[in-house]
Amino acid sequence: MSAPVPDTRRTSGVRQRGALDPRGGSRASDSQPFPVSAAWRPGDPVGRRQFVEVGAVELEAGGVLPDVTLAYETWGTLNERRDNAVLVLHALTGDSHVTGPAEEGHLSAGWWQDMVGPGAPIDTDRYFVVAPNVFGGCQGSTGPASPAPDGAPWGGRFPMLTVRDQVAAEIELTRALGLDGWHLVVGASMGGLRALEWAVLGPEAGIAVECLTVIAATAQSTGDQIAWAHPQLTAIRSDPRFRDGDYYDAAPGDGPHVGLGIARQIAHTTYRSAVELDARFGRIPQGGEDPMRGGRFAVQSYLDHHAAKLARRFDANSYVVLTESMLTHDLGRDRGGAVTALRAVTARTLVVAVDTDRLFLPDESVRIAEHVPRAEPATMLRSDFGHDGFLVEFGQLGPVVGDFLSRARPRST
């Protein structure tokens, strides 16, 4: 059963400046200019994050990135047999703050509060849960805003990363934690791409993956996904304030938030379903505005809101680097193709899709489940929320993941 679609046909918020106006925020009430970038820098609030230096990472596309650091959070306790560790991998604009309140260093409460915690489907009374911020990200792990060896931010010099590079860094984190395996690796969307890559690269590197949960993901990025991402990348790169990625010395409000905001609007539309956008917003004007006289429809205001919100909390360079890593994702690269790679996965596997996902099509999930030898048939969530269903439909997703874990529980837990 899908969650009820909330009514957000708001009636306030007369538009005086556009969300993407470089001088200011989305609404007349916004008084703070957008930051240059929302990238975490050394010295910024840490919250409950920990950091591990994983050293130099040899990159799949060539070259080496020195001095890589990963930020991560943990919950629960590693047991004596060390067989209760769970790795949770976030999506494109997520971070290590899987669960817990908004706090210093984290503007929002955890993005999977209903999934991870004491008594939750991923029960932190039972499991030791680890969540890293992705390599290339902007919430504590090494990314384009981090200092290069010359002390200046990498900026436009930051190299292209692949999903495999991100997992290679996470393998080093695993070793640094003294673990030789995960009971479960779970991720959705970009996190699902990493989870799949983990299922192949982890065992190759001597890190066992007993169980795998891949949600709203794909074994290879599709032409459609590449197509949707292309205008997002173009929007950021063609923002004059992007300055080829070297904007970290810009004055507050003078960063590439216009391009980043447009990218988010395109992406966010693909994260939701046509049915939901029509049911929620339809042709309703935003309160007090008249689309016939330069005003907006409510759905335009909604997208402006999400654009402004992301521009305040995310770094445009990281958005580019992570998006490109998703575009080049191919589990089968140098492994004889995707099907051969899927057949090599030894983990007991749960694959979950959202039936209205128009970005990560359910058929891609079905394909994963068909070829992974120990996969159960793909579970289809019924939801009008589209791809973002994995962030909303906890009433369905929780029991699915909880049941899978209880069937695959290690003896010691």
Ligand X SMILES: CC(=O)SCCNC(=O)CCNC(=O)[C@H](O)C(C)(C)COP(=O)(O)OP(=O)(O)OC[C@H]1O[C@@H](n2cnc3c(N)ncnc32)[C@H](O)[C@@H]1OP(=O)(O)O
DSSP 264-321: HHHHHHHHS-HHHHHHHTTTPBPTT--GGGT--BHHHHHHHHHHHHHHHH--HHHHHH
Active site (annotated) includes residue 273: no
Cα of first residue to Cα of last residue in the chain, in angstroms, is 30
Secondary structure (H, E, C), 4-24: CCCCCCCCCCCCCCCCCCCCC
Question: Of residues 2, 26, 189, 301, which has the active-site annotation?
Answer: 189
Compute the least distance from the CB of residue 401 to ligand HSE, in Å: 17
Instruction: Determine the distance from the C-alpha atom of residue 240 to the mean position of all C-alpha atoms in its chain, rounded to a whole number.
Output: 26
Name which of residues 253 to 272 contact ligand HSE (CB under 6 A): 271
- Of 305 and 387, the one with the shorter C-beta distance to ligand HSE is 387
162 in Cβ contact with 329 (< 8 Å): yes
Active site (annotated) includes residue 31: no
Question: Of residues 357, 365, 383, 384, which has the active-site annotation?
Answer: 357
Active site (annotated) includes residue 357: yes
220 in Cβ contact with 335 (< 8 Å): no
Compute the least distance from the CB of residue 260 to ligand HSE, in Å: 12
387 in Cβ contact with 216 (< 8 Å): yes
- Of 94 and 256, the one with the shorter C-beta distance to ligand HSE is 94
| Residue ranges that bind ligand X, judged by CB under 6 A | 8, 10, 90-91, 93-94, 111, 286, 298, 301-302, 305-306, 309, 388, 391-392
315 is in an annotated binding site: no
264 is in an annotated binding site: yes
162 CB burial (10 A radius; 0-12, 13-18, 19+): buried
- Of 301 and 365, the one with the shorter C-beta distance to ligand X is 301
- Of 48 and 313, the one with the shorter C-beta distance to ligand HSE is 313
Does 338 bind ligand HSE (CB under 6 A)? Our answer is no
- Of 277 and 342, the one with the shorter C-beta distance to ligand X is 277
Does 314 bind ligand HSE (CB under 6 A)? Our answer is no
Residue 331 interacts, among ligand HSE, ligand X, none and using kind-specific CB cut-offs from 5 to 8 Å, with none
Compute the least distance from the CB of residue 382 to ligand HSE, in Å: 19
| Cα 161 from Cα 153, distance rounded (Å) | 17
Residue 394 interacts, among ligand HSE, ligand X, none and using kind-specific CB cut-offs from 5 to 8 Å, with none
349 in Cβ contact with 374 (< 8 Å): yes
Compute the least distance from the CB of residue 62 to ligand X, in Å: 29
Residue 286 interacts, among ligand HSE, ligand X, none and using kind-specific CB cut-offs from 5 to 8 Å, with ligand X
Query: 234, 201, 226: which is closest to 334 by C-alpha?
Result: 201
Does 396 bind ligand HSE (CB under 6 A)? Our answer is no
What secondary structure letter does DSSP report for 180? S
What type of residue is 218? T
Q: How far is CA 109 from CA 53, 102, 366, in A?
A: 26, 4, 32
Compute the least distance from the CB of residue 161 to ligand X, in Å: 18
Does 322 bind ligand HSE (CB under 6 A)? Our answer is no
State the catalytic residues: 189, 357, 387
Residues forming contacts to ligand HSE in the complex (CB under 6 A) are 91-94, 189, 271, 387-388, 391
